[in-house]
Structure 1
Amino acid sequence: MSVNTMQTRSIYKWGSPEVEEKLPSHTLDFLNNQFPVSNELKSSLPKGELNLKPLKKSKLSASIVSKLKKIVGNANVSLDDVSRARHSIGKFYTEIYKARFGEVTEVVDVVVLPKNETEIEEILSLANANKIPVIPFGAGSTVTKALQAPKGGISLDLSRLNRIIEFNAIDSTVTVEAGVYGPELEKHLNERGYTCGHFPQSFEFSTVGGWIAAKGAGQASTGYGKIEDILLGLTAMTPSGKFESKVYPAASIGPDMFRLFLGTEGSFGVITKATLKIRKYHSENSAKGSFIFKNFEKAVETMREVMQGGFGKPHFFRIQDPEETDISFHMSGLHGGKEDLFLRFIGYKPMQRSLMHIIIDGDPSYTKEVMKKIKKIAKRNGGFSTGESPVNKWLHQRYSSAYLRDYLMDEGIRIDTLETAVSWSNLHTLWENTRAYIKSFENTSCMVHISHAYENGANLYFIFLSPMNQQNEVSDFLKFHKGIIDSIHANGGSLSHHHGIGRMLSPWMEKEVGEEGIRILSSLKKTFDPKGIMNPGGLLGLK
């Protein structure tokens, strides 16, 4: 493999450069039947062999670059095209698609890797004095176009801020720098009998700072909470100065100002440090189970009754809708097997049935009692217990499945996602109408799951797949994508539940928060960042 091949694919590829997921033959046969892609289209798609097209020349003067090198050291300033390109895209579909053809257009001028808050303060001071944009960079897993640099500037890579500062068993807290990756944090905690409880699909390739900046959620957030429920305090460096919150279990001291940085995606300042809640954890105490229901409605009713039951709740709680359940049967090789035939025989039909996964963490007596009550509710709603096996299979691939996107795109299959939060009373209408829009396009599959549940509602996570359009893939996709967002919003869903807003959803922000909401966000932005250098160019609905 040539150097250019490695460089080009590594710019957009998910995860570890060494890992390339493949699909078994039965899954490939299913996908080829489901999404017919011509050999002509497949052969026309680059798989990493194209050179990166020349980027815009860095606009920074030699003097500015010299000053940056003086702050962080020569080895921690990168001006090469591959580094600049890699730090200027995330994992939004069109970013990946264009990068396959060597196209990365809205790029930063330089990548800088500070090691501490003092260096960040000096960089922000230099950038502010010269009105140079600054875009904080964690691990690059954003799917909202938040890393694109329409005005160029500095990519502030926080990977060197990777210290676990304090583990506090008395207070059940851990304090870490923003560049700490999920696996390192969790390993440190597990060795001491604790967990952070935050497991996004990007867990292996995302950072604590990124979780906070996106206001993210993990796969066990039903039990442990989203990141805003886990965060107790933070430090952020802004162009106006250093903000550092004190850590309390709770306090009535006016608004919780540290929460102003949640979900702001680098537009107010640079998150450098955070204190998080931790929980005692022993995996051997966890209770696992799964149920299959005759339809999505009964599965959702069971989930709602559990969440409103007052007896406890699962930490991991997931429902696959009928199409996702059906595709899961096909891709796992279960379709047509003895388990499938038995389920059909007792009334659980393909494209009607819906699968539920459950994991409950905690004390053994608690997990046992909660599972007992869930089984009772599931049975009342026609749920058939399918044991621990489906949960264990899902856990085995919950992170590695992210690699399949690159492989599917190699094969000419478009795949992307959108997610939302919705009240129970609006959930079915939103699910039905948005699915109907997506399914109105030829050869398009729409898999939907619920993976985060609350007393008052849940999220819906839409995954859509179809053959690529050989002539107009980018414009065709963007039109299709806009229609999905419009449908979600028109049917009572939030713009996002956990991915964030970025530049992707920015055009809808005024509809979401109102004119006064935009005015408040703009005022906060001006307070922290008077000259508008932090991640400028249409983030969060801001001009």
Structure 2
Amino acid sequence: MAITRNIYKWGSAEVEHSLPSHTRSFIESQFNVSSDFKSAFPKGVSEIKPLRKSKLSTSAITKFKKILGPNSFQLDPLDRAKHSIGKFYTEIYNARFGKFEDVAEAVAYPRSEEEVQKLVLLANELKLPIIPFGAGSSVTKALQAPNGGISIDLSKLDKVIEFNTIDSTVTVEAGIKGPVLEAFLNEKGYTCGHFPQSFEFSTVGGWIAAKGAGQASTGYGKMEDILLALTAITPSGKIESKPYPAASIGPDVFKFFLGSEGIFGVITKATLKIRKFDPQNSTKGSFIFKDFQSAVETMREVMQGGFGKPHFFRIQDPEETDISFKMSGVEGSFADKTLTFLGYKPNSRSLMHVIVDGDPDYSAFVFKKIKKIAKKRGGFSTGSSPVQKWLDQRYSSAYLRDSLMDEGIRIDTLETAVTWSELYGLWDNTRKYIKSFPNTSCMVHISHAYENGANLYFIFLSPMDVKNEIGSFTSFHKGIIDTIHKNGGSLSHHHGIGRMLAPWMKSEVGESTIQALTAVKKSLDPKGIMNPGGTLGLK
């Protein structure tokens, strides 16, 4: 495998995910990509292009190695490149050609909070930028190092510190990955309830820094609902909160680190809520509706019903529903023909997935209520099989992005939060903008629902521009963000801002908020070493 493919690849570096036959058939019939372009487009290259030269002095390198040991402070070009990109489309595209810009000058691997403290103090003394690094799944260009500096990889801070069944909490180091934490909890009959699509390759610290959401956040909440306390190391000192269930002790300073994306300090420890969990108690089901509006109104009524709510709640819009039928081989099947005969027609129908966790009486009661509301709005029950099939590929489907790009297909996503009253206009106008570009597919789903609104997640696919893919994509991408923002959508629901969305930050939150964030940063990071260079729209 080419070296750069190991760097940018989604999923495990050891596993190549080939396109399923039905997916390949859809791609080949939908998008006209020349065989010459596909064969010429690199899957990766054997050598990376020369990186920006490190400006670290010999004296500084010696001091950092004294803290960490010689093998835990790396200057290797591959290590530097890997820690300076995430999973944003242009980062991956450039990496295929061996091109890495804005790279860190070194990578540090601390093994303890004490070592993190020493690293931050030394970097502050030397005025060297620090970019915290979890597992590299950021899609907002938040891991780039435009001012150089040191990437602090927290992967060795991966321990469970305390498991507390009386308080229903778990305290962990920030570098622990999702599967490790969840396996630990599941063995004891609990769950964290946080399952982002990056779950297999993301960390607790990253979840907090991005203010992330999981696929079951409708029931378990986003990270701001799960996080009880944290410890963070800032250039001005340690911030450490206590896991009170609630408290009125002034503004919650520790919550400044939710969504902070490394601009205030390095998160080293967190206490999270946990819930009792037995998968046998979960009630699953799917419904298909004749149109998107009927599905959305069902979801809204459920969320505002006051009888409880599902943990996993998802709607696919008509185009995503149709494409999922094609990619899974359902199109043209007996089931497909039956649904069409019953009035659930292609280009109009929308699929809904539901899972309710918890006590079996509760899950059965809530699902029964949802089923009644769905039936009232014309929803046809399709059983638990569709949702189970979706669960089986909920992480691995993202790894097909590499294979799609191998075929010359541009694929990326943007997501937003919106109130119910603004949702249809935002969905319709953003789709119109995306579909105004030739030969472009736009799949949209709702995967996080609330009493007052929901998120919309846009996935767009088209053939690459063979002459100027980066320029073409950048212009197209900017237009989507502008359209979302003009139609009442937030800049992000759970991916965060990073540097990608920073140009819109002031118009989103206002000048006074930018000034407030700048003042907090000035207090915690007086020399401006923490993830500098435009993150969150700050100078």
TM-score (ref. length: structure 1): 0.99
CA contact (8 A) 1:50 1:101 kept: no
The answer to whether 1:99 aligns with 2:75 is no
The answer to whether 1:81 aligns with 2:77 is yes
| 1:189-228 deviation per Cα after TM superposition (whole angstroms, max 9, x unaligned) | 0001000000000000000000000000000000000001
2:93 counterpart letter in structure 1: Y
CA contact (8 A) 1:182 1:203 kept: yes
2:157 counterpart letter in structure 1: L
State the match for 1:329 in structure 2.
325
| 1:275-331 deviation per Cα after TM superposition (whole angstroms, max 9, x unaligned) | 000000000000000000000000000000000000000000000000000000000
SS at 1:419's partner residue?
strand
| Higher deviation after alignment, 35-44 or 460-469 | 35-44
Aligned counterpart for 1:238 among listed residues 234, 237, 254: 234
**Distance (whole Å) between structure 2 residues aligned to residue 102 and residue 389 of structure 1:** 42
CA contact (8 A) 1:179 1:207 kept: yes
State the match for 2:525 in structure 1.
529
SS at 2:383's partner residue?
coil
Unaligned runs of 5+ in 1: none
Superposed CA RMSD in Å reads 0.6
| 1:366-387 deviation per Cα after TM superposition (whole angstroms, max 9, x unaligned) | 0110011101000000000000
Matches within 5 A, 1:240-389: 240-389=236-385
C-alpha displacement at 1:19, in angstroms?
1.2
2:509 counterpart letter in structure 1: V
State the match for 1:197 in structure 2.
193
1:126 counterpart letter in structure 2: L
**Distance (whole Å) between structure 1 residues aligned to residue 370 and residue 29 of structure 2:** 38
1:10 counterpart letter in structure 2: N
**Distance (whole Å) between structure 2 residues aligned to residue 40 and residue 435 of structure 1:** 31
**Distance (whole Å) between structure 2 residues aligned to residue 68 and residue 471 of structure 1:** 44
**Distance (whole Å) between structure 2 residues aligned to residue 30 and residue 121 of structure 1:** 52
SS at 2:260's partner residue?
coil
Aligned counterpart for 2:153 among listed residues 133, 157, 173: 157
**Distance (whole Å) between structure 2 residues aligned to residue 123 and residue 108 of structure 1:** 15
SS at 1:494's partner residue?
coil
Aligned counterpart for 2:492 among listed residues 496, 499, 509: 496
State the match for 2:424 in structure 1.
428
C-alpha displacement at 1:27, in angstroms?
2.1
SS at 2:110's partner residue?
coil
SS at 2:410's partner residue?
strand
SS at 1:175's partner residue?
strand
State the match for 2:454 in structure 1.
458
**Distance (whole Å) between structure 1 residues aligned to residue 122 and residue 293 of structure 2:** 57
The answer to whether 1:409 aligns with 2:410 is no
Matches within 5 A, 1:461-480: 461-480=457-476
1:203 counterpart letter in structure 2: F
| Higher deviation after alignment, 57-66 or 475-484 | 57-66
1:479 counterpart letter in structure 2: S
C-alpha displacement at 1:18, in angstroms?
1.2
1:336 counterpart letter in structure 2: G
CA contact (8 A) 1:84 1:107 kept: yes
C-alpha displacement at 1:425, in angstroms?
0.1
**Distance (whole Å) between structure 1 residues aligned to residue 435 and residue 100 of structure 2:** 31
2:365 counterpart letter in structure 1: E
State the match for 1:209 in structure 2.
205
SS at 1:386's partner residue?
strand
**Distance (whole Å) between structure 1 residues aligned to residue 476 and residue 217 of structure 2:** 30
The answer to whether 1:136 aligns with 2:132 is yes
Aligned counterpart for 1:167 among listed residues 141, 144, 163: 163
SS at 1:441's partner residue?
coil
C-alpha displacement at 1:105, in angstroms?
1.1
C-alpha displacement at 1:50, in angstroms?
4.2
Identity of aligned residues (%): 73
SS at 1:404's partner residue?
helix
2:472 counterpart letter in structure 1: D
C-alpha displacement at 1:402, in angstroms?
1.2
CA contact (8 A) 1:306 1:377 kept: yes
SS at 1:291's partner residue?
strand
C-alpha displacement at 1:54, in angstroms?
1.1
1:69 counterpart letter in structure 2: K
**Distance (whole Å) between structure 2 residues aligned to residue 235 and residue 245 of structure 1:** 7
SS at 2:504's partner residue?
helix
CA contact (8 A) 1:50 1:100 kept: no
C-alpha displacement at 1:20, in angstroms?
1.1
C-alpha displacement at 1:246, in angstroms?
1.3
1:467 counterpart letter in structure 2: P
CA contact (8 A) 1:422 1:458 kept: yes
The answer to whether 1:70 aligns with 2:66 is yes
**Distance (whole Å) between structure 1 residues aligned to residue 28 and residue 218 of structure 2:** 36
| 1:423-463 deviation per Cα after TM superposition (whole angstroms, max 9, x unaligned) | 00000000000000000000000000000000000000000
C-alpha displacement at 1:23, in angstroms?
1.8
CA contact (8 A) 2:45 2:98 kept: no
2:359 counterpart letter in structure 1: D
SS at 1:190's partner residue?
helix
1:226 counterpart letter in structure 2: K
C-alpha displacement at 1:130, in angstroms?
1.1
**Distance (whole Å) between structure 1 residues aligned to residue 396 and residue 135 of structure 2:** 17
1:206 counterpart letter in structure 2: S
C-alpha displacement at 1:118, in angstroms?
1.3
**Distance (whole Å) between structure 2 residues aligned to residue 49 and residue 72 of structure 1:** 32
State the match for 1:176 in structure 2.
172
Unaligned runs of 5+ in 2: none
**Distance (whole Å) between structure 1 residues aligned to residue 110 and residue 157 of structure 2:** 8
User: Aligned pair count?
Assistant: 539
| 1:101-134 deviation per Cα after TM superposition (whole angstroms, max 9, x unaligned) | 0000110000000111211111111111111000
C-alpha displacement at 1:26, in angstroms?
2.7
SS at 1:54's partner residue?
coil
**Distance (whole Å) between structure 2 residues aligned to residue 88 and residue 471 of structure 1:** 26
SS at 2:295's partner residue?
helix
State the match for 2:52 in structure 1.
56
C-alpha displacement at 1:25, in angstroms?
2.4
**Distance (whole Å) between structure 2 residues aligned to residue 513 and residue 347 of structure 1:** 45
1:160 counterpart letter in structure 2: K
CA contact (8 A) 1:314 1:359 kept: yes
| Higher deviation after alignment, 123-132 or 382-391 | 123-132
**Distance (whole Å) between structure 2 residues aligned to residue 536 and residue 116 of structure 1:** 24
State the match for 1:31 in structure 2.
27
| Higher deviation after alignment, 8-17 or 498-507 | 8-17
State the match for 1:445 in structure 2.
441
SS at 1:186's partner residue?
helix
